[in-house]
């Protein structure tokens, strides 16, 4: 697809056989049925323009065999899993073009997959994979396991007496109180203590529906917590404000009248909350970055006690740790895949320290192209999230600072330079359109 022409282009080489693109971009016209040569020096490709673009699969729809209609391939193929909008970015969401090799009428709709019944088992559902989290019925007294970070496929989830899902964010044993007798938090992000376990409300339960796009953030699922209060879908609305979903559900057939900052918007069965205005801050690269972090005990006269660190809105305030100046050995690196991006915000996150000496998380990043092995100059510092019930809590930081803003005089301590070594849960990472 070429965003400039908002058209889809297919390879028309005989067979079709593969070819090699040229060193300069062809002059794509966006005219349906037109052809353009790419790398005329030999071994190239002839591209065929399809406009309007094919849509996603439709139930009970008549599709023609690809090539049977002159200059009309839009009704002979589909794209999955999302519609190709002019802003489509394949690095964010890969999409597959699927031509109909035999014409006919599509089915009336999908059927339930064969659901797994054992916690941790997976069920395949067309493009999706679901993971069974075990029984949704709360038991008493029972040990429950908290969600700890991206990539964790198994954690404790129950359905409360209000038909809301509750995710465990502090491991512990449930109380002897009956589920219906507990006053559960009903708003997105409300927390409920239950014995030694702690639950957070993530919204109402939903019933599986055929032919539906189910959203999953690129970094995976995250429940709402103090350091990241909105873990679900995020969009920029037509007023250039950022909206987060706070009630799960299927969106309406057209865009709603968006609420202003601090207001909620009902959109079909979903509800959005407007958090802030969109920010154009963004970071671009040609090859990629590597990130590491370390823990620190700020001194009483640390500059960031009274001055905002780079990319952070406010000073960190008086130190709450040992004030020794300790900086631990850096974590294992998160290494981005090699590739270019013309403008995004990178969200990095991990778990804080439970050591009472520590009050700060220090973030380091390589310069563009040096993600494998560094060095990793200083990016910024943020407050270490206080443990809850002895359990480490997650932190996150949105990085949009160019390489020229890094401090090469302060590099991450690596190779066990400064052990005591920090906890090393997997660092989470997301690259997305810039937002406030």
Q: What is the pLDDT of residues 312-362, one digit of tens each?
A: 878 899 999 999 999 999 998 888 878 888 777 788 888 899 999 999 999
pLDDT in the model for residue 110: 67
Task: Assess whether pLDDT exceeds 60 at residue 436.
Answer: no
Distance separating alpha carbons of residues 159 and 179, to the nearest angstrom: 9
| Confidence label for 370 from pLDDT (cuts 50, 70 and 90) | very high
Digit-coded pLDDT (tens) for 260-271 = 999 999 999 889
Distance separating alpha carbons of residues 26 and 28, to the nearest angstrom: 6
pLDDT in the model for residue 91: 61
Task: Assess whether pLDDT exceeds 90 at residue 281.
Answer: no
Mean pLDDT of 192-220: 85
Task: Assess whether pLDDT exceeds 60 at residue 416.
Answer: yes
Q: Which helix H or strand E contains 11, and what residues bound it?
A: strand 8-11
- Count Cα atoms within 13 angstroms, Cβ side, for 185: 19
Mean pLDDT of 95-122: 83
Give residue for tokens 């839009």: 74
Between strands 157-159 and 8-11, the pairing is unpaired
Task: Assess whether pLDDT exceeds 80 at residue 14.
Answer: no
User: Considering Cα of 216, then 220, then 223, then 228, what sign does the dihedral take?
Assistant: negative
Distance separating alpha carbons of residues 345 and 282, to the nearest angstrom: 5
Digit-coded pLDDT (tens) for 418-435 = 555 444 444 555 555 454
For residues 373 and 290, the model is more confident at 290
Considering only CA atoms, which of 381, 371, 411 is closest in space to residue 285? 371
pLDDT in the model for residue 324: 95
Task: Assess whether pLDDT exceeds 80 at residue 188.
Answer: yes
pLDDT in the model for residue 228: 66
Alpha carbon of 405 to those of 61, 283, 340, 364: distances in Å? 54, 11, 19, 12
Distance separating alpha carbons of residues 396 and 217, to the nearest angstrom: 15
Computed over every residue of the chain, the mean pLDDT equals 84
Task: Assess whether pLDDT exceeds 70 at residue 135.
Answer: yes
pLDDT in the model for residue 219: 60
Digit-coded pLDDT (tens) for 73-93 = 778 888 877 777 776 766 656
Mean pLDDT of 170-184: 96
Q: Which helix H or strand E contains 277, and what residues bound it?
A: strand 270-277
For residues 347 and 297, the model is more confident at 297
For residues 417 and 23, the model is more confident at 23
Per cent of the chain over pLDDT 90 is: 35
pLDDT in the model for residue 335: 85
Distance separating alpha carbons of residues 334 and 372, to the nearest angstrom: 9
Q: How is residue 358 written in tokens? A: 């520590």
| Confidence label for 150 from pLDDT (cuts 50, 70 and 90) | low
pLDDT in the model for residue 83: 75
pLDDT in the model for residue 113: 83
pLDDT in the model for residue 427: 58
Task: Assess whether pLDDT exceeds 70 at residue 17.
Answer: no
């Amino acid at each position: 697809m070429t965003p400039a022409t908002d058209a889809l282009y297919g390879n028309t080489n005989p067979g079709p056989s593969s070819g090699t693109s040229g060193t300069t971009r062809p002059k794509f016209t966006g005219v349906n049925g037109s052809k353009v040569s790419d790398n005329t020096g030999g071994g190239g490709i002839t591209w065929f323009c399809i406009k309007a673009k094919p849509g996603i699969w439709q139930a009970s729809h008549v599709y023609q065999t690809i090539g049977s209609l002159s200059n009309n391939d839009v009704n002979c193929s589909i794209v999955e899993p999302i519609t190709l909008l002019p802003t489509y970015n394949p690095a964010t969401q890969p999409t597959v073009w699927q031509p109909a090799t035999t014409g006919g009428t599509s089915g009336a709709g999908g059927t339930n997959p064969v659901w797994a019944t054992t916690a941790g088992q997976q069920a395949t559902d067309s493009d999706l994979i679901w993971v069974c989290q075990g029984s949704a019925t709360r038991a008493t007294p029972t040990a429950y396991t908290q969600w700890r970070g991206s990539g964790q496929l198994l954690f404790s989830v129950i359905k409360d007496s209000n038909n809301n899902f509750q995710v465990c964010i502090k491991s512990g044993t449930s109380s002897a109180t009956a589920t219906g007798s507990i006053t559960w938090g009903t708003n997105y992000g409300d927390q409920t203590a239950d014995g030694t376990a702690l639950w957070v409300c993530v919204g109402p339960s939903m019933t599986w529906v055929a032919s539906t796009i189910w959203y999953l953030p690129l970094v995976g699922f995250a429940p709402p917590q103090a350091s990241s209060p909105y873990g679900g879908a995020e969009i920029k609305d037509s007023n250039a404000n950022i909206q987060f979903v706070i009630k799960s559900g299927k969106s309406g057939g057209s865009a709603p009248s968006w609420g202003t900052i601090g207001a909620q918007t009902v959109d079909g069965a979903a509800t959005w909350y407007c958090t802030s205005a969109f920010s154009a801050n963004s970071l671009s690269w040609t090859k990629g970055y590597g990130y590491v972090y370390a823990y620190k005990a700020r001194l009483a006269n640390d500059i960031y006690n009274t001055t905002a660190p780079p990319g952070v809105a406010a000073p960190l305030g008086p130190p709450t740790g040992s004030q020794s100046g300790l900086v631990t050995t850096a974590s294992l690196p998160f290494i981005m895949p090699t590739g270019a991006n013309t403008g995004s915000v990178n969200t990095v996150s991990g778990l804080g320290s439970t050591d009472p000496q520590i009050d700060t998380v220090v973030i380091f990043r390589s310069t563009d192209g040096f993600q494998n092995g560094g060095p990793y100059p200083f990016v910024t510092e943020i407050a270490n999230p206080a443990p809850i019930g002895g359990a480490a809590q997650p932190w996150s930081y949105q990085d949009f600072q160019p390489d020229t803003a890094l401090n090469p005089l302060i590099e991450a301590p690596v190779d066990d330079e400064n052990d005591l070594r920090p906890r090393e849960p997997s660092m989470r990472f997301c690259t997305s359109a810039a937002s406030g």
